[in-house]
Structure 1
């Protein structure tokens, strides 16, 4: 909710995105087999995997 976002923003203390981002996230290619992607989620600490194309975008 908007109220929840306002509360979170009041706690940022001037931080920028690079202060809290994952600098080298685990990604999968758009051609990755679904079973392999699911396996990565099971063995990693991540709940989501960005999907990139062949150029890494």
Structure 2
């Protein structure tokens, strides 16, 4: 049982790293990545304009 728990914890950690890298990819590569990851068109357009302030 402890081996399974350790495996799940390590897997969850790697999944978290992957998601963090995807989020950084959005910042670096812009609007297309926001669209691909489902952030919405308004967020993608803001990224393309270089606007970092969240819409109301």
Shorter-normalised TM range = under 0.3
Q: Which has the higher strand share?
A: 1
Q: Which has the higher helix share?
A: 2
TM-score by length of 2: 0.26
